[in-house]
Structure 1
Amino acid sequence: MHVALWIAAGLLAAVLLVSTSKMVVPRERIAAMGGPAAQWVLDFSPVRLRVIGALELLAAAGLILPAALDVAPVLVPVTATCVAALFAGAATMRLRRGERATIVPDLLYLALAIFVAWGRFGPGQFTG
C-alpha cells in the first residue's frame, strides 16, 4: 500500500510541477502550443495564472516533502485533499467550457488525489 501511495503522490507531484510552467510562459504561447486542452488559460489573467502555478508548486512540495523529511507527515493527506479540490475545480471548469473531450486527465488526477488522501488518512498513514 505504501509503495502505491508513494507512486501516486509522485505522479501527482510531477504533474503539478510541469503545470507550474504557466507561471513563466506567456498564456498566449501556452494556448498556442497546447491546442484545445490549453485554451482555458486565456480565461485567466497572468496574475491569476501565477497564483495557480504557485499553489501547484506548493502542492507538489506538500505531497512529497513532509513525508520524505518526516516533518509533519499529516500534511501529505491534507495536501492531497486540496489537490483533489483543485482538480475537481479544473473538471468543473472544463464542463462549463464544453470541453468534455479534455476532462479525462483531470478526472484521473482527481482520482489519484482522492486515493492518496484516503490512503494517507487511513490504511497507509504514516506512523511515528
Structure 2
Amino acid sequence: MNIALWIAGGLLAVVALGGGITKSFMPKEKLAAARGAEWIAGVGSGFLRTLGVLELLAAAGLVLPAVVGIAPVLVPVTAVCWILLMIGAMVTHGRLGQFNLVALNLIYLALAVFVAWGRFTLAPFSA
C-alpha cells in the first residue's frame, strides 16, 4: 500500500508542478489561447498566478514533507486541499461544457482522495 500511495502522490505532484509552472510563468494570453483553457480569459492575472502558486505549493506538499521527514502529516492535508481545488476545476470546466476535462479532474480528485485516505488511515507517516 505504501508504494501505491507514493506513486499516486508522485503523479499528483507532477500534475501540480506542470500546472503551477504554466499558470505562474506563462503569459495569460498564451494560456487562454490553449485548448481547454478558455476559462482563463475570464479571470484576472492575479487570480491565475495565485492558482499557479497554490499548485506549486501542492506539488511540494505532496512529496517533500515525507521525503525530508518534517511534518509528514502535511502530505494528506495537501491531498485534501488538492481535492478542493479539483472540485473547483470540475465546476469551472463543467460550466463551459468541457466534460473531458471534468473527467480528467475527477481522476485527479480520486487519486487525491486515495492519498488523503491512505496517509491519514492506512499507511500514515510516522513523525
The alignment's TM-score, normalised by the length of structure 1, stands at 0.93
Unaligned residue ranges in structure 2 (runs of 5+): none
Q: Which residue of 1 aligns with 2:7?
A: 7
Structure 1 runs (4+) deviating above 4 angstroms are none
**Superposed, which structure 2 residues align to 1:1-128 within 5 Å?**
1-20=1-20, 21-32=22-33, 34-35=34-35, 37-128=36-127
CA distance in 1 between partners of 2:104 and 2:28 (Å): 20
Residue 8 of structure 1 and its aligned partner are, at CA, apart by 0.5
Percent identical across equivalent pairs? 50
In 2, Cα distance between equivalents of 1:31 and 1:48: 13
- RMSD, matched Cα: 1.0
User: In structure 1, how many angstroms separate the alpha carbons of the residues matched to 2:95 and 2:88?
Assistant: 10
Letter matched to residue 7 of structure 1: I
In structure 1, how many angstroms separate the alpha carbons of the residues matched to 2:63 and 2:75? 7
3-state SS in 2 of match to 1:59: helix
TM-score normalized with structure 2 length: 0.94
Please report how far the alpha carbon of residue 55 of structure 1 lies from its aligned counterpart in structure 2 after TM superposition.
0.7
Per-residue Cα deviation, 1:13-47 (whole angstroms, up to 9, x for no partner): 00011001111111221122x31x11111121111
- In 2, the alpha carbon distance for the partners of 1:27 and 1:110 equals 25
Shift of 1:111: 0.5
